[in-house]
Amino acid sequence: MTDTLPAPATSTHEVEVEGSTRGERIAAGVQRHGALAVLGLIVVIASFAFEFFATLDNARGVAVQSSFLAIVALGMTFVIISGGIDLSVGSVFALGGVLAAYASQWGFLPALALPLVVCGGIGVLNGVLVAKTRMAPFIVTLASLLGVRGLLLAITDEGSTTYLVPKGSAFTELGQGTVYGFGYPVLIALALFAVGAVVLQRTSFGQSVFAIGGSEDAASLMGLPVARIKVLAYTMSGLLAGLAGALSAARLSSGVTILGVGMELDAIAAVVIGGTLLVGGAGSISGTLCGVLLLGVIQNVINQIGTLDSSYQSVVSGGFLIVVVVVQTYLSRTQRLR
Amino acid sequence: MSDLAVRPVFERGRVTRALQDYGVYGAVAALVVFNAAFTDNFLALGNLRTQLIQVAPVLVVALGMALVIGTEGIDLSVGSVMALAAAVLPLYLGYGLLPALAVALLAGAVVGVVNGTLVAVVGLQPIVATLALLVGGRGLALVFADGQLKQINDPTLLALGSEDVLGVPIVVAIAAVLTLAVGVLVHRTTFGRQLVAIGGNRAAGGLAGLPVKRVLVGTYVIGGVLAALAGVLATARLTASDPSAIGNLMELSAITAVVVGGTPLSGGRVRVLGTVAGALLMQLVRATMIKNDLSDSAAQMVQAVIILVAVYIARERRTR
């Protein structure tokens, strides 16, 4: 854009503008593709270092393990770009799984419909509370984190009842069936990411999400239906978390109540590592996918090292998160300081 | 505002204001009265002791959280800091209790320095800066502890968790003393005034010549040390250092206590007594429901509603 502007009056100014555009372009590039570059680097190094790493079986394993978090993080991306946050997704994920397992006794459709309706409803509730009362999203979704886990305990007799998915049902197939060795959850996650990217980049809804995250007041002055778009974003987050839970129940053949604790933080970490700014207004779906895969590959590599136990995974993830956000902050600061 | 005088006593603003200022105390009092009337053995000394002992570690963490939230920050890492302190404690018990305690608290301070530096110097949002240590901190704790639960045999340390001083459980006494100390810190010291001023408006604080970075880092260090102390107390009560369980979800309990107690998430105000009341309220809600044969799950849902109501009431202050 800057190139097309008329030349400034003084030459010193012009030099400044030129220099900063290049810096800005590099900064934007690093911000957008940083996670992808690091992911590529780790994959290449790990392929040489570990015999088993660069095999199709291992790729399938990483893909399936990552697919549930990926679906949750997809919804989280929309919420975060809109300037909000959704802490309830871990609880909603677990609830979705238990409801799906419970409803699977009635067949395939109920097993999907029940969790989607309930979890979507929780998303609507989050969205309405955030949009209409102007309470901090952090607190609203913190309350639903607690409340939904309470609900989850209530329908499982304080966690003592485990609902099983009937053996051999079509719903089990959804979690365990494969195409070319890749499980349905992986394919569903990929399809959802493709749709999500189109929705974010190519629809007026997606552009409105960016606008609201960038400046809610400005978006409102431009006449965007701010409340409705926020409600939609939180609803998507609830729906996707519920769907991910249902898929995991199909995969595990049962609704596990203790799943999903801390998942909201993994999802936020993946989104942030993927280059989406937590203040809202900027981010990408592809970045989130890279972020999720990066977390998955780190875990996989640590498992392959063998001598390191799994607690190192969170140390590395945490350290990585710090590095990414510090770099991001400095990059966005150079952009602002031009 | 000018026509305030002619409005009736039950004018909405005034009621809201009263609810904001005294609602949490009223709710605690109402629960105590309700329990005294309807719950068997509630006023028995043993039960009151149990309630206070259970609330003490939450309160210790929440006091630090109140300070951090007062700076318009948030500290998600407190639960992991508790685990970290619990994990390093047994490693140094061989050198004596005091060195071990010092190292455990130092671990909390170090995490506080990292959090504070990321927030104040690097300029990260507090939620991201402390999220990294929430994720990484528990991993570190597990690495230090080799992923194992360790029994604690040191009699002095165990006494911290189980014995009384002047008829008051030691953990409760510690929480009370810390409440007093944090109250004095907020209301009677320069540091406290600077903290509140920076929380109200960081840019203005900087322009007014306040040492913004130092105060912010200091606040996160206090938060970290208090969380580490809570980790030590939890270890003493459990008679074991269990880095995978200690402090789980503590960040949520502490934030809840602070917010329900009336400290706004937007900073600029620290309500120390409110935090005590907030922590007590959440504890009493749970105890009341369980003792009256309602389930834990129902208690969680009621707690969620209380958080929303408290924040909804508090929200009015800014819009007026």
Q: Which residues pair with B240 in a beta bridge?
A: B151
Burial environment of residue A30 by CB neighbours within 10 A (0 to 12, 13 to 18, 19 or more): middle
Nearest to A259 by CA among A241, A245, A247: A245
- Across the interface, do A321 and B131 touch by the CB < 8 Å criterion? yes
Could you tell me if residue B1 is inside a domain? no
Nearest CA in chain A to B313: A135
Question: Chain A contacts of B299, Cβ < 8 Å?
Answer: 150
Q: Which residues pair with B165 in a beta bridge?
A: B168
Could you tell me if residue A280 is inside a domain? yes
How far is A78 from A127, CA to CA, in rounded Å?
A: 12
Q: Identify the pLDDT of residue A65.
A: 87
How far is B121 from B50, CA to CA, in rounded Å?
A: 42
Could you tell me if residue A68 is inside a domain? yes
B206 neighbors B82 (Cβ within 8 angstroms):
no
In angstroms, the Cα distances linking A9 to A2, A6, A19, A243 are 15, 9, 17, 57
Nearest to A150 by CA among B47, B242, B298: B298
Question: Chain A contacts of B295, Cβ < 8 Å?
Answer: 153-154, 158
Could you tell me if residue A62 is inside a domain? yes
Half-sphere CA count of B221, side-chain side, radius 13 A:
12
Residue with tokens 């005091």: B98
Task: Tell whether the torsion through CA atoms of A300, A301, A304 and A305 is positive or negative.
Answer: negative
Question: Chain A contacts of B136, Cβ < 8 Å?
Answer: 314-315, 317-319, 321-322
Q: Identify the pLDDT of residue A334.
A: 62
Alpha-carbon Rg of chain B, whole angstroms? 20
* Phi, psi of B150, rounded to the nearest 5 degrees: -120, 130
In chain A, the number of structural domains is 1
Nearest CA in chain A to B134: A318
- Across the interface, do A326 and B295 touch by the CB < 8 Å criterion? no
Could you tell me if residue B3 is inside a domain? no
Residue A274 is part of a domain; what is its CATH number? 1.10.3470
The top-scoring range by mean pLDDT among A53-57, A123-127, B39-43 is A123-127
Which residue of A146, A268, A311 is in closest CB contact with B139?
A: A311
How far is B84 from B102, CA to CA, in rounded Å?
A: 13
Which residue of B127, B135, B319 is in closest CB contact with A318?
A: B135
- Kindly report the nearest CA distance between residue B146 and chain A, in angstroms: 9
Nearest CA in chain A to B302: A147
In angstroms, the Cα distances linking B177 to A171, B174, B184 are 57, 5, 11
Burial environment of residue B166 by CB neighbours within 10 A (0 to 12, 13 to 18, 19 or more): exposed
Nearest to B76 by CA among B139, B140, B132: B132
Residue with tokens 């003490």: B56
Question: Chain B contacts of A278, Cβ < 8 Å?
Answer: 125, 127-128
Could you tell me if residue A25 is inside a domain? no
Q: Which residues contact A144 (CB under 8 A, 6 or more apart)?
A: A87, A88, A91, A92, A122, A125, A126, B304
How far is A61 from B16, CA to CA, in rounded Å?
A: 55
Host domain of residue B130: 11-316
Virtual torsion, Cα B87, B90, B95, B101, nearest 10 deg: 60
Tell me which amino acid residue B231 is. G
Burial environment of residue A28 by CB neighbours within 10 A (0 to 12, 13 to 18, 19 or more): middle
- Across the interface, do A321 and B136 touch by the CB < 8 Å criterion? yes
B78 touches chain A (CB under 8 A): no
B186 touches chain A (CB under 8 A): no
- Across the interface, do A265 and B131 touch by the CB < 8 Å criterion? yes
Q: Which residues contact B82 (CB under 8 A, 6 or more apart)?
A: B61, B227, B228, B230, B231, B234, B246, B247, B250
Average pLDDT, chain A: 84
Residue B248 is part of a domain; what is its CATH number? 1.10.3470
B177 touches chain A (CB under 8 A): no
Q: Residue B222, Cβ neighbours under 10 Å: how many?
A: 23
Tokens of B107: 């671990």
Q: Residue B21, Cβ neighbours under 10 Å: how many?
A: 14
Which residue of B295, B298, B315 is in closest CB contact with A135?
A: B315
Could you tell me if residue B176 is inside a domain? yes
How far is A193 from A74, CA to CA, in rounded Å?
A: 7
The DSSP output letter for A254 is B
Measured in whole angstroms, the distance separating CA A69 from the mean position of its chain's CA atoms is: 7
How far is A200 from A214, CA to CA, in rounded Å?
A: 14
The top-scoring range by mean pLDDT among A53-67, A72-86, A249-263 is A72-86
B130 touches chain A (CB under 8 A): no
ipTM of the complex: 0.80
Using 50 as the pLDDT threshold, list the residues of chain B that sit under it. 1-3, 318-320
Could you tell me if residue A13 is inside a domain? no
Question: Chain B contacts of A312, Cβ < 8 Å?
Answer: 139, 143
Question: Chain B contacts of A311, Cβ < 8 Å?
Answer: 138-143, 147
Could you tell me if residue A89 is inside a domain? yes
Q: A72 or B43, which is more confident?
A: A72
Q: Which long-range contacts (CB under 8 A, 24 or more apart) does A184-188 make?
A: A184/A247, A185/A64, A185/A67, A185/A68, A185/A71, A185/A247, A185/A248, A185/A251, A186/A60, A186/A63, A186/A64, A186/A67, A188/A67, A188/A71, A188/A243, A188/A247
DSSP H stretches of helix in chain B: 12-38, 45-70, 78-92, 97-117, 126-144, 155-162, 170-188, 190-200, 202-207, 212-238, 250-260, 272-291, 296-319
Residue A72 has pLDDT above 50, yes or no: yes
Segment 254-283 of chain B within 8 Å of chain A by CB: 255-256, 259, 265
Nearest CA in chain A to B298: A150
Give which of B69, B300, B313 to mutate to test A binding, by max A Cβ within 10 Å. B300
Which residue of A145, A311, A329 is in closest CB contact with B124?
A: A329
First to last CA, chain A: 15
Q: Identify the pLDDT of residue B40.
A: 79
Pairs of residues, one from chain A and one from chain B, whose beta carbons lie less than 8 Å apart: 139
Q: Which residues contact A132 (CB under 8 A, 6 or more apart)?
A: A227
How far is A218 from A224, CA to CA, in rounded Å?
A: 9
How far is B268 from B98, CA to CA, in rounded Å?
A: 36
Q: Identify the pLDDT of residue A5.
A: 42
- Across the interface, do B127 and A85 touch by the CB < 8 Å criterion? yes
Q: Identify the pLDDT of residue A312.
A: 80
Segment 141-160 of chain B within 8 Å of chain A by CB: 141-143, 147
The DSSP output letter for B150 is E
Host domain of residue A160: 34-337
- Across the interface, do A136 and B265 touch by the CB < 8 Å criterion? yes
In chain B, the number of structural domains is 1
**What is the model's pTM?**
0.84
- Across the interface, do B252 and A145 touch by the CB < 8 Å criterion? yes
Give which of B135, B290, B296 to mutate to test A binding, by max A Cβ within 10 Å. B135
